[in-house]
Amino acid sequence: MIFNFMQNSLHTFSIPVMGTGHSIDSPIRVAPYGINSVISIVDDLLVERIRKHYSSVFNRPYKNIPRKAKDGRAQRITAYLDLVQSVVQEKFEGIKKQPFFEKNEKAKYFEMLPDTSELKKKYLDLMAVNIENARQKLVSELNELMKTGSIDVNIMAKVDGFSYTNNGQPMSSEFSDGCAALRGFANSKLSSSLILSAGFNPRLYNYLAEFEDFYRDVKGNIKKKIILKVSDFRSALIQGKYLAKKGLEVFEYRVESGLNCGGHAFASDGYLLPSLLKEFKEKKEMLSSSIQPLIERYYSENTDHGYNSDWEVGQPRITVQGGIGTSGEARRLLQDFGMDATGWGSPFLMVPEATTVDEETLNLLKEAKEEDLYLSGVSPLGVPFNNVRKTGSHKWHKQRIEKGKPGSQCPKGFLESNTEFTENPICTASNQYQLLKIDQINHSDISEEKKDELREKVLDKACLCEHLGNGALITLGILKPHRAPQAICPGPNVAWFDTTYSLQEMVDHIYGRASSLVPKERPHMFAKEMVMYVDYFEELIKQSEDLKADLRTLNRFRKNLEKGIEYCLKIAGQKPYEDENLQSIKETATVQKNRLATLFAKVEAHKEKEMA
């Protein structure tokens, strides 16, 4: 058997990870229909509660894995992923056994497939054929070709704090949060993909080499594939080579808009998404030509069977996500930029069949306008975080501040990283840190205005570990809303989706098979990203404590942004796909170019004033 490293998914889109909780059970919901989705395995304590719930729902035996159990984090993750696989397979087999020619879940499975799919074409042939022998042959073929969507998992490389023994001593590196989560996935029965996001973590990447499932077996099969979420081509090539020297192949590079996305926003140095995708398209071949010799050398030098030239090796997939909202935008990404697939995140927050968003937060999203969705400073990681105003989490934190007890008791501690006041790391969203920091600010020798500004930044930090998972616990009936403050991390794109949708409605929207779910005036994703990057540039200027010293960095950012805007204007001059608002790019580019020039002129004027 030859392993096809480029095996195709049934669909041209996937559902990315959304916080710790909102896609925690998405595979159970959508994988039986052949749709790929991603689970966050950052919060193993949330994972355990969800496992208990679904064990009961699907009559599976359940034995609690205590918080203090030896290697408990990895064990909890493995147990949940194995349960998810088992449940998905059970639901899938139930769909597979259903008859054709009826309005049932099996029909839904095939009807949702993209019209370009060979499987969909065979299904349509079956619907049209009347000869019994031909029918039975097609029925047999279709049943054989049906498969589930992939149950993929996500690890944030930045979330890799050390665990401590009961007497406060740090444990060895394999028990760090990231390594333990990786081990949990590696030990599971899943044959799927691991998405590594939020930066390069050498310790975590080196630990991958400890597990055989990430390598080819003698037949060329890889049970667990590696996907890297990357910010640019250079990063993709560097990380790909790093892994290749260990014999580890990257199955997919997942490119995300730096700002026009959900969750944490890792802004580029002024590079807009179209510019990044253009480079990936032009240099795609390098991702295999530069890396494949390293893979072959590894197998030749480190395995008994060596490298087999009969193994089928294709180029790694390149996919894109962040702000996609219409079928026309998706078609441009797939056809003009040569992307292998797209990721649709925030729109699926409005699809209860696919994600777990509690009713209160869902209503908040339905009513949210563009001005309600913003880049916040709530993340203890110190990275801008996409947010929506008036969440349950915000209200909870505000009440604690008013009572003189700011911050959280930090029940989980996944984002503990600050050692400003303590020997062991604590979280900047914790009550302990915030009281200590505010006391320091109060006793500092600065103006009251500056003190107010600093205190506001401290109090802005929120307990994401706990609150991002609460929506799932409420939706599944595990917790009551009043006991579970809810946080959510939608991208700004969600402002244009103003009601709930069925899974089939959203899939038809993605493929352009029905009336668009968003109005025609919705700005193109490239136009929205332009505005966000100029907003970010303005914020960089405001936050600068020395504009003269930062001038070179700001100028580089400006030039990259200007080049990106010019490239977007070239795209806007092309023929639009159906449901693609290219006109909005032209209008936005003119306004943002002028705004960018005005902002930078102020920076230069400030420099000249200082030099005078």
At 250 the three-state DSSP class reads: strand
Q: What does the pLDDT average to over 344-349? A: 97
pLDDT value for 1? 26
The residues, ordered by sequence, that sit 6+ positions from 124 with a Cβ below 8 Å of its Cβ are: none
- pLDDT tens digits for range 79-116: 999 999 999 999 999 999 999 999 999 999 999 999 99
pLDDT at 306 over 60: yes
Is residue 316 within 8 Å of 287, Cβ to Cβ? Answer: yes
What mean pLDDT is reported for the chain? Answer: 92
Indicate the pTM of the whole model: 0.93
Q: What is the DSSP track for 103-123?
A: SSHHHHHHHTS-TT-HHHHHH
CA dist., res. 46 & res. 128, Å (int): 47
pLDDT at 360 over 90: yes
Indicate the range of 20-29, 115-124, 161-170, 320-329 predicted with least confidence.
161-170
pLDDT at 171 over 50: yes
Cα 498 to the center of its chain, rounded Å: 22
Candidates 241, 338, 343, 197; CA nearest to 280 is 338
User: 540-564 burial by CB neighbour count: b if 16+ within 10 A, else e?
Assistant: bbeebeebeebbeebeebbebbbeb
Q: Higher model confidence: residue 414 or residue 147?
A: 147
Q: What does the pLDDT average to over 282-301? A: 92
Indicate the range of 23-37, 292-306, 577-591 predicted with least confidence.
292-306
Sign of CA dihedral 562, 567, 570, 571: negative
The continuous run of DSSP H or E covering 543 comes out as helix 525-543
pLDDT value for 241? 96
Query: How many CB atoms are located within 10 Å of the residue 390 CB?
Result: 13
Q: What does the pLDDT average to over 114-132? A: 93
CA dist., res. 521 & res. 39, Å (int): 33
* CA dihedral of residues 368, 267, 538, 275 (deg, nearest 10): -100
CA dist., res. 346 & res. 18, Å (int): 8
- pLDDT tens digits for range 385-404: 999 999 999 999 999 999 99
pLDDT value for 165? 60
pLDDT value for 279? 97
Strand partners, 229: 254
CA dist., res. 313 & res. 589, Å (int): 41
Q: What is the DSSP letter of 407?
A: S
CA dist., res. 357 & res. 344, Å (int): 16
CA dist., res. 556 & res. 553, Å (int): 5
pLDDT at 417 over 80: yes
- pLDDT tens digits for range 463-517: 999 999 999 999 999 999 999 999 999 999 999 999 999 999 999 999 999 999 9
pLDDT at 161 over 80: no
pLDDT value for 467? 95
